[in-house]
Amino acid sequence: MNVVEAIKNKSEINKMKKCLQDRERLMFVIGINSGLRISDILSLKVSDVLDEKGKAKDRIVMYEKKTDKRKSFPLNKAIATELKKVKYVSMDSFLFPSQKGGAISRVQAYRLLNAAAKRAELGYEIGTHSLRKTFGYHAIKAGTPVHIVQKLLNHSSERETLRYIGITQEVMDDVYVNMNL
């Protein structure tokens, strides 16, 4: 099994966005801005994110498949902007519909993201879990306390969260190098 990493460089995130279009870009943006697991992203319906008038809702309220815990979070500007760019069939349809009916599969989501990573010339493999890891990594880098990120990702310990998002010795060494008080 391949272990995928967070996309740690914001310029690489932007390269990915440029290599994705429409729904695939929306899937990527929701993932890196929410920390949701791909199974939860793919199960979203249009009515989960848009109101009756077709405007982005203030919040997504859902139950996570893996934990069956209620999750409620505000839609940020990045997600709302991407929602405006996609055409929707109906409020009852999946946000990421398959041509065969239902939502696209995790495997298809992986293929779409990895193909974009190759086009973006990232030089490493990403997967569906990279989105969630990217959210956690950048939340930590932005100064969010580890215990808050731990809670957002539903992890059992801070140690698990740090390992999960790829806080390596190199990252910790950078703290010392850049301190210079």
Residue 110 known to be catalytic: no
- Assigned CATH for 10-179: 1.10.443.10
Mean pLDDT of the chain: 92
Task: State the pTM of this model.
Answer: 0.91
- 147 catalytic? Reply is no
Q: Is 61 in contact with 45 (CB distance < 8 Å)?
A: no
Q: What is the mean pLDDT of residues 54-80?
A: 93
97-126 pLDDT per residue, tens = 999 989 999 999 999 999 999 999 999 889
Active-site residue 25, yes or no? no
Q: Is the pLDDT of residue 170 over 90?
A: no
* Catalytic site residue from 15, 45, 129, 133: 129
Q: DSSP readout, the chain? A: -PPP-----HHHHHHHHHT--HHHHHHHHHHHHH---HHHHHT-BHHHHB-TTSPBPSEEEEE-TTT--EEEEE--HHHHHHHHTS--S-TTSBSSB-TTSSBPPHHHHHHHHHHHHHHTT-SS---HHHHHHHHHHHHHHTT--HHHHHHHTT-S-HHHHHHHHT--HHHHHHHHHHH--
The pLDDT, as a whole number, for residue 33 is: 97
Answer whether residue 9 shows pLDDT above 90.
Answer: yes
**125-147 per-position pLDDT tens digit:** 899 999 999 999 999 999 999 99
Is 66 part of the annotated catalytic residue set?
Answer: yes
pLDDT of residue 2: 59
Tokens of residue 42, six digits: 């793919």
Kindly list the domain boundaries of the chain, sorted by start residue.
Answer: 10-179
**pLDDT score of 164 more than 90:** no
User: Residue 138: which residues within 8 A CB-CB, separation 6 or more?
Assistant: 6, 10, 32
User: Tell me, what's the pLDDT at 71?
Assistant: 92
Q: What is the pLDDT of residue 1?
A: 47
pLDDT at 157: 92
The C-alpha atoms of residue 98 and residue 171 are separated, in whole angstroms, by 39
Q: Which of 15, 25, 37, 45 is catalytic?
A: 37
Task: Tell me what pLDDT residue 104 has.
Answer: 97
Average confidence (pLDDT) over 157-169: 85
